Structure 1
């Protein structure tokens, strides 16, 4: 028969007390309300949120602080539970239980329990040992218990047990001995225990007796831990934090680990390569090390302590020696392993964040910077990602401390390699240059490095000088708006000297012409960036360069000829004249003088650069300045000069032209504007480019030839026909006026290209067949049976020149399409630059009647250009001109007759058709003209409306009309606004 099961002894112990209940048959123990509250508190101590853990600790202390007969038992039970809790694998549980344990231990020492330090340590030792099951304990379990013991010891220290006046030395020795035993087990435990003791010593408000400190030092020494990174950190902390305490002798020279006499030993200790078996053998109770050469993946806290003490000494020489001996050489030498470099990079990052600005020059050691730059060259390098945090720290430190940024970037520039830099490295240097201050020492560093880049090979020197020039240009670009620009003048002088003059002093290797060309290019680009500044500042910076070149005129690398020297002399005389004409009461005249000085200065630079036709251009500028202000020819000449500038692929000359044109806008004549309008009407093709830039053949000068001869000449030149806007269909020349609108896409020309290519192939076959004496490639029978292929050597030699000519023509024709494409891009770009100039004119001279002369050409451009952005730009300019002109007081002064002529031209333009942009431009311009006319006399509305009616009537009867219906909708909406017109 089944009998009644005997309950477990644990159940009897927990339930047969005074308040116990009978054991349930299922052996489920009823939990009391108090136990449930404790369980909830302990669950709170495990929480990941610090606030929850803190609140749980407070609740536990409140519960245990209640004085009852069972208080001591409850405190002891809580201590046991908390010590077990710190051995949890959860980080949150360790922190929460450790915090609660320190407070409970503090309560236990003050209450009736009177728990001694020795009892605390004994209990921790007993409860933080893993229980062996079948003789096997996992590594993870051992680790959890070791960490738990560490947190339990931390709770003892934080409870204040060793900071009381009544604390005995022997009590402290018990604690420190237990901590030292734990530290000696593993390197990572030593680091944890050392950090724990360091934080306890540095805790604010803590009073540590000399006897306690003595116990700490003696125990740490007895375990052979003095000459470890953690031992050095604790030694320095006690030495500086407790000045009245005398450290024992015999460990460090003058009791100072940072002494120069101990540099070699300190290096070994910090790198953990010291063979400390000798000290361990001589020290009683020392724990034998398994290995002396283990490395950590993260640096010990001791590095931060050592660096902080070195910073406090503020001895640059001592710091530099320490940094080189302990970091730069052993960690970043050519033979250093990646693991050691990885550790060194982390230490370097710490130093970047904490070192005073005056020591950063020592921190950014050449070995370290070379390592970082080398590792960032290719993504497959071992430390490619490890080199990223130091670069980020450089940028962060520079942003918060401009002086530190200047020191860091100066050192980085010094060790820059000649090879390419990765994107992050370049961005880091650029960001530091953007915030570093002061910049004057940096400018001098740039100059010195350009003269002596630190490499002996000429090609390597050229690469590094180019890189340095790029960084100088970047500095100008990002810092040109600084309030103080004291650095800019010497930088421009240095660039000018490097670009054009024979530099005096030690230059190694010598500057090559290629390097000078780079500096010339960067100098012009720098001046281009400076053109964005106010006119007076732009003139001052240009004058700085011109004056520097004038002072170095006798030592130029490329001497100027007599004509160039004369032109420069005349230009400088005009600059002096312009400076003398400064009038405080006439801002307009001053602006014109500044613009001429700027124009003359850039013209002089072009002569020094020995650009083609630069001398004649400079002479023209001088002529313009010498001419009377109301001279129309001078105005036209000036505009043509500015147009020649904007035709160059240079932002400098584009900005120069805009600056100068803005100053001279009031004096621009109708003839000068017409020269700009003529460019807008040019064909966007190779023929248009040849006509515009006068690159055509001399046949263009033969004006006496009749039109038939011209057409015949054009037909013979196949490459020109393919590239021009003239199309030959069945022997008839179709001009551009009969073509479809230019707003159509380029796909039309691409569609027609295959037949053209086939014609070229057929022509090539005919010429080749004629040269070979055959009937052609398609005649297979003739090709296979003909005896013409049996040629002797003389016949072959005679045939060779003909074949060479034929194939040369074929090769020439293959480039036609690309040439036409390039020409179109050039013309479109030129038109955009002209539109920029016209935009400058419209903004300042919107009240001038000459603005009305721009309406029709701009509308036409929206149709004829093959570039949609250009059409949109022209349409926007029209809108701006109409917006500025509307409401102007000069509207009534414009006669109605010219306005009607423009309106008729716009209506004629509508009939050509075009894109939506073109239709919008036509409609808006027509309404704008109507507004002006109606504003002068409301009776004009009848005539304008009649013009629209006539246009609409044609549109209705002509099915093929290209006028877009939206034009009439816009006019209807405009007409309905009675008050607006």
Structure 2
């Protein structure tokens, strides 16, 4: 009874162990296996019957699809067989023989007759797991039981033939067994027997056979392998490449020699066969070990061309094969040495990759998307120094191949991905430099049989990508606290563009193909955009701007011919400008290194430096006006140097004479000339120059800015601003004589042409739309047609023909005939002329409305640029006594402008200034003259407050009045009585004058300020 009870207890414990071996939790499974091998089974104690029962149960458990039964039972079985392997099969105390193990495996994993399909599959899976457990345990190797392992090999090979969908798993366990380093070493005879078994079952010329063969030759290089397997005794032999390609594609090839026929698979798997990894690892070895390639083995380049390019990526390949090719390419990108990667960018592979990214098939699209993600990651991978040395070649090949695959179009737009963007935006300065060099090489290279249109497209694409790389480099400089290689990257791109924009193509010996005219225009535009981005960085951007231009000057001095040639007089001025630029750059660098420059990032030298850079940039761009501006700037600089020397070496004198009286007006006029143009770069640099010169700007200089704010926002204001002839916008044209009529027509026509020209330039710069120029040409042709019709009508009325250049000589003599006309004829002529001009005026209103609209847009744009400069001044010089001079013009602009955007802009500028001057901070009025001027400005503000305006104007005027009051009271407390009287008079005016429109907030703010400061002035 006791023995039966113990047996039941053991059975219960075994049931629990078997149940836990199938648990989903790996820890539970491992604990159950440990319990089985430590408590239930004990070597030398457990009887043969008990051991056999345990083995049968474990083998049977491998055939179960319940939970994780196969995983748990295979671990327990492997460990149990490992313990059995320490006992020889012929020993007297051997619990179980090798033949018994094979017999149990075969018996327990054979499905019974009549079982369902799933049950049969479970049994076949169980046989694979069981065979794997036997091989991993090494029990046959420890006992050197060659007969039994041959029987086991036959079972595995027979299963691979009977169930082709399990062939890869069968090959994997054999490959793993031979290549793994186990506690019990695999004997060489087993590896040879494995190949013999595969050969006898015609499985040697399969992907599994290739993998096992390579594993055997790698582990046992001196082994005598079957010679009938391969014609050249090696599947990786150069002459076996076609057969290897067919085998790895897993297709059956029809060959005359049936002994060397590739055994194809009846099934397909989306996963890449493990044999590809085995073959690739051998091909990679040719890079690390050149002696391997000396054995007449196929190279990686040839392998890719035949087994991948011509096989998986061929036009006739199915979707499934192409997905294999994309997965294989991804595997190579992740594992191959960098020197081999350039061989993968072949034509068919790239075509399949691009087409798959935009393909409707989800399989190909998913594989291609995963592949696209590997390129940026691999570019950043730096495993060893050898890869670093070859990184430029790989990156160049990658970028060039992608661009060529889409005919130098927008790769990301065509494929609807961010592949190229991710490559360009890699966070590595070394990679960014390599990409910049690759693009430069592509831009300078020539293509055989390339048409002008294709060259234009290619160069435009590359310049666009260079612009993106430049933006990445500049962002890296902005984000990096210390200087990195990103700034040289930006400098190399800018210098390259400058060379192609300004240097004659004949002088660029290294350049095979010059840029087209359209690309030249694009480069000039990109230069402006690039310098604008650089100037945002502050001093590093200024240095980049100056150094890039100076590099061109250095080449010019060395004898390189420029595209633009200057006359002697102009060349002298340009040379002087270059000399002044170099000197300003040197002084700016010295001042930037001083600690006292941290408070004010820009100095007078920075302003002059940027001015010279800007003007020389415009000169070499072909701007004719820039030459005259260069002379003006040199003259101003000469005066500044002379006054600077006379003032002595005192710092106060230097600051006081930084700009002589009236000199700042000339500089401001130059800046306004550039700022008024519709260019983001010009707006940026003029503001930065103005910020550098702001401490030295005089009252006259600020007044020149305010004069523009006072201009009318119409054609009359435009003509007054630019000192042009007045344009009569009225509709009535009752003129007294012929001469005045003709003059008016001429003036109107001239103004119309000027406005049309400015409008054309503005639209072409801001929008870059090619249709603008054609529209302006049509409008010009319409105007010419109208003038021609008017001339014809006028000639008809006068009884003559239209006047041309050939009639100029005889005009004086013809005019004498007018004296012979009688009174009646003169009256008739007057009626005809009046009719002609009435017809002319009926056509002109449409053109005049357009002219007025264009003039208003020009003035509004100009005022916006001036407001930007004033905002720059007030942000930096808010403590300057001259800052209060800008308050009244801003208030008047808010009140008088008819453009809401201008009113809002002016209000924002004034609000920013008032916010900057909160608390005790504000303009410092120290001298009596400054106090008197402050009181005068305060009176003007009160006058402005009394006028009818918007609530926006009233609030700004109230706060401005408080600001000036605070500044005057701080500088001269006794002046507080004058301020109180001024507020009192304004209150009285509010009560007695109907035309006074002071709002309540004006006195509310005054009362609040009085309450907050009464303790400061009370005695």
TM-score of the superposed pair, with normalisation by structure 2: 0.72
The match for 1:241 is 219
How much has 1:277 moved relative to structure 2?
7.8
Contact 2:470 2:489 in 1 (8 A): no
5+ residue gaps, structure 1: 1-14, 22-31, 725-800
Q: Which of 152, 162, 170 is 2:147 aligned to?
A: 170
Q: For residues 616 and 92 of structure 1, do their structure 2 counterparts lie closer, same or farther at Cα, with a shift above 3 Å needed?
A: farther
Aligned counterpart, 1:751: none
Aligned residue among 875, 882, 885 for 1:850: 882
Q: Which residue of 1 aligns with 2:191?
A: 213
Q: For 1:216-265, what per-residue CA distance to the aligned partner results, in whole angstroms no more than 9, with x for missing partners?
A: 22222322222222322222223223445444434347754333232222
Match of 1:64 in 2: 40
Aligned position for 1:224: 202
* 1:746-761 map, 5 Å: none
In structure 1, how many angstroms separate the alpha carbons of the residues matched to 2:101 and 2:334? 40
Q: Which residue number corresponds to residue 809 of structure 2?
A: none
Whole-angstrom CA distance in 1 between matches of 2:449 and 2:410: 15
Task: Identify which of 601, 610, 616 aligns with 2:613.
Answer: 601
Residue of 263, 268, 271 corresponding to 2:249: 271
Which residue pairs with 1:900 in the alignment? 935
Aligned-residue offset at 1:637: 1.7
* CA distance in structure 2 between the aligned counterparts of 1:122 and 1:160, rounded to whole angstroms: 17
Residue 109 (structure 2) aligned to one of 128, 132, 148: 128
Deviation at 1:310, TM superposition (A): 1.9
Residue 568 (str. 1) matches residue 562 (str. 2): no
Counterpart CA distance in 1 for 2:509 and 2:329 is 36
Q: Secondary structure at the match of 1:886?
A: coil
Work out which of the residue numbers 399, 412, 416 in structure 1 matches 2:398: 412
2:550 alignment counterpart: 543
2:627 corresponds to: 615
Residue number among 898, 905, 908 corresponding to 1:870 in the alignment: 905
Alignment check: 8 A CA contact 2:881 2:923 kept: no
Tell whether the 8 Å contact from 2:51 to 2:95 is kept in structure 1 after alignment: no
Alpha-carbon deviation of 1:581?
7.0
Shift of 1:145: 4.0
Q: 2:666 pairs with 629, 633, 637, which one?
A: 637
| 1:103 corresponding residue in structure 2 | 79
Q: Following the alignment from structure 2 to structure 1, what is the Cα–Cα distance between the partners of residues 351 and 518? A: 27
Per the TM alignment, residue 82 of structure 1 is displaced from its structure 2 partner at its CA by 4.5
Q: Deviations over 1:361-384 (max 9, x none)?
A: 223334433433344467789844
CA contact (8 A) 1:440 1:486 kept: no
With over 3 angstroms needed to count, the CA separation of the structure-2 counterparts of 1:908 and 1:73, relative to structure 1, is farther
Name the SS for the 1:931 alignment partner. Answer: helix
Distance in 2 between the 1:834 and 1:75 partners? 98
1:396-795 matches, cutoff 5 A: 396-401=377-382, 403=388, 406-415=392-401, 416=403, 417-423=407-413, 424-432=418-426, 435-437=429-431, 439=433, 442-443=436-437, 446-453=440-447, 456-480=450-474, 481=477, 483-484=484-485, 485-500=487-502, 501-503=504-506, 511-533=515-537, 534=539, 535-548=542-555, 554=561, 556=563, 565=571, 567-575=573-581, 578=584, 592-593=604-605, 595-611=607-623, 613-628=625-640, 629-680=658-709
**Deviates most, 352-361 or 87-96:** 87-96
| SS of alignment partner, residue 439 of structure 1 | helix
Pairwise CA distance, 1:837: 3.7
Q: Is the 8 A contact 1:542 1:602 kept in 2?
A: no
Give the 3 Å change call, closer, same or farther, for CA 527–184 of structure 1 in structure 2: farther
Q: Which structure is higher in helix share?
A: 2
d(CA) in 1 for partners of 2:556, 2:988: 69
Q: Quick check: 1:251 aligned with 2:229?
A: yes
The answer to whether the 8 Å contact 1:458/1:509 transfers is: no
Q: 1:64 Cα shift? A: 3.1
Using the alignment, how far apart are the partners of 2:953 and 2:235 within structure 1? 83
1:299 corresponds, among 272, 291, 294, to: 272
Change (3 A) 1:926 1:438: closer
- For 1:488-518, what per-residue CA distance to the aligned partner results, in whole angstroms no more than 9, with x for missing partners? 5554343233334225569777643112222
Is 1:309 paired with 2:282?
Answer: yes
Residues 48 and 92, structure 1, Cα contact 8 Å, conserved in 2: yes
What is the CA–CA distance in structure 2 between the aligned matches of 1:89 and 1:958, rounded to whole Å?
A: 101
Maintained 8 Å contact 2:43/2:83: no
The separation in 2 between residues aligned to 1:872 and 1:56, in whole angstroms, is: 80
1:141-180 matches, cutoff 5 A: 141-162=119-140, 164-180=141-157
Q: Which position in structure 1 is the counterpart of 2:873?
A: 841
Q: How many residues align?
A: 857
1:689 and 1:888, CA in 2 relative to 1: closer, same or farther beyond 3 A? closer
Does structure 1 retain, via aligned residues, the 8 Å contact 2:432–2:469? no
Instruction: Say if 2:714 and 2:859, in contact at 8 Å, map to a contact too.
Output: yes
Q: CA RMSD of the aligned region, Å?
A: 5.0
Q: Partner residue of 1:734? A: none
Task: Say which SS state the counterpart of residue 629 (structure 2) adopts.
Answer: helix
